[in-house]
């Protein structure tokens, strides 16, 4: 295993705060009308941030809505972690290590953005309950991959997995299992590699995909059939959600060492873009040329945007 220290450090870009007062925002999705749909995990709701910055609730959800993606029919598919316990201090709002007393079970839900109606797609796989679904990405066929972070308390950890699921709710299968705190996931530009990160180890993994969506398992000593790509960071750095840019770089929202860690597909180049929040949890690309980055600064409850091309030198990858 190779540890990759960040090289070519980047400067904090000029950014615009477009929403404040959010209760641990995550899962931003750039919509065709220019608005941003995101989840507020602590507030348990799916929220729209209008082009004028005005907030409106799409759906009030139980548990802990964690990630979101737009399906081919314009509905929002949400990974629901079942709920966190929380702590708030002078540094902001943070998930707690205490197992939540009102944990309602992990699940995948689909929301109609016009009505707020919620439909449950998945709660288990092969009889094993989903523990803490975290992030998801759609493929070109309209199916999706998602991560299950697992669930942890002060004295126990329940491990999760990475799954492939049919978009219509008809079938689900694990493709990397078991995993330890699997978090963000994204597809390569050609759709042949699924990347995911582990939060606690700050490791980046890859699952190689065949044309029909099946996987090519990495051999021993891989713990779960995924291919190791990189491990980054120091004693406290942790990885959250990810996006892929047009050049295939994996852009990882980074916790504690707040910012975006940008890793080339072969891990030969690692850069860090610092941002002013300990809990930089997610990003998406938007605008007509996908040159604008929208980033959730969750401890301080902000959504920001800045010129990604100016900051990093490339643009975002168009999502399926």
252: CATH: 2.120.10.30
Find the length of the chain.
Answer: 320
233: its two tokens = 């960071």
Render pLDDT for 115-143 as a digit per residue (tens, 0 to 9): 999 999 999 999 999 999 999 999 999 99
pLDDT at 212 over 90: no
Supply the range of the domain harboring residue 264. Answer: 3-312
Does a structural domain hold residue 317? Answer: no
Residue 56: what pLDDT?
98
CA 205 to chain centre: 14
Q: Predicted confidence band at 44 (pLDDT cuts at 50, 70, 90)? A: very high
Tell me how far apart the alpha carbons of residues 120 and 307 are, in angstroms, rounded to a whole number.
Answer: 36
Does a structural domain hold residue 237? Answer: yes
How many CB atoms sit inside 10 A of residue 5's CB? Answer: 9
Does a structural domain hold residue 319? Answer: no
Share of the chain above pLDDT 70, in %: 98
pLDDT at 3 over 60: no
pLDDT at 22 over 90: yes
**Is the Cβ–Cβ distance between 231 and 198 less than 8 Å?**
no
| Average pLDDT of the chain to the nearest whole number | 94
Does a structural domain hold residue 186? Answer: yes
Residue 236: what pLDDT?
86
Residue 1: what pLDDT?
43
Residue 50: what pLDDT?
97
Render pLDDT for 89-124 as a digit per residue (tens, 0 to 9): 998 999 987 888 899 999 999 999 999 999 999 999
DSSP conformation class of 228: E
Q: How many domains does the chain have?
A: 1
Tell me how far apart the alpha carbons of residues 13 and 239 are, in angstroms, rounded to a whole number.
Answer: 20
């Amino acid at each position: 295993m190779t540890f990759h220290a960040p090289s070519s450090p980047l400067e904090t870009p000029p950014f615009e705060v477009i929403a404040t007062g959010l209760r641990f925002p995550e899962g931003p999705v750039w919509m065709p009308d220019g608005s941003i749909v995101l989840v507020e995990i602590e507030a348990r709701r799916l929220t729209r941030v209008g082009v004028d910055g005005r907030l409106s609730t799409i759906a009030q959800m139980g548990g802990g809505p964690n990630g979101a993606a737009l399906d081919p029919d314009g509905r929002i598919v949400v990974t629901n972690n079942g709920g966190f316990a929380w702590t708030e201090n002078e540094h902001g709002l943070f998930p707690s290590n205490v197992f939540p007393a009102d944990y309602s079970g992990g699940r995948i839900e689909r929301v109609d953005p016009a009505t707020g109606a919620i439909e449950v797609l998945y709660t288990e796989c092969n009889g094993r309950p989903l523990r803490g679904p975290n992030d998801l990405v759609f493929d070109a066929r309209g199916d999706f991959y998602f991560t299950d972070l697992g669930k942890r308390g002060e004295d126990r950890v329940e491990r999760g997995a990475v799954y492939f699921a049919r978009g219509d709710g008809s079938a689900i299968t694990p493709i990397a299992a078991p995993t330890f705190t699997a978090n963000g996931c994204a597809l390569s530009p050609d759709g042949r590699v699924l990347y995911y990160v582990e939060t606690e180890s700050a490791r980046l993994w890859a699952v190689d995909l065949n044309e029909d969506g099946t996987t090519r398992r990495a051999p021993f000593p891989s713990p779960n059939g995924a291919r190791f790509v990189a491990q980054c960071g120091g004693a406290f750095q942790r990885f959250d959600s990810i996006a892929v840019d047009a050049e295939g770089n994996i852009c990882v929202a980074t916790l504690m060492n707040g910012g975006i860690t940008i890793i080339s597909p072969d891990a030969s180049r690692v850069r860090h873009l610092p941002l002013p929040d300990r809990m930089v949890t997610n990003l998406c690309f938007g605008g007509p040329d996908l040159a604008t980055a929208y980033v959730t600064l969750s401890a301080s409850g902000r959504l920001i945007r800045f010129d990604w091309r100016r900051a990093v030198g490339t643009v975002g990858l168009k999502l399926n």
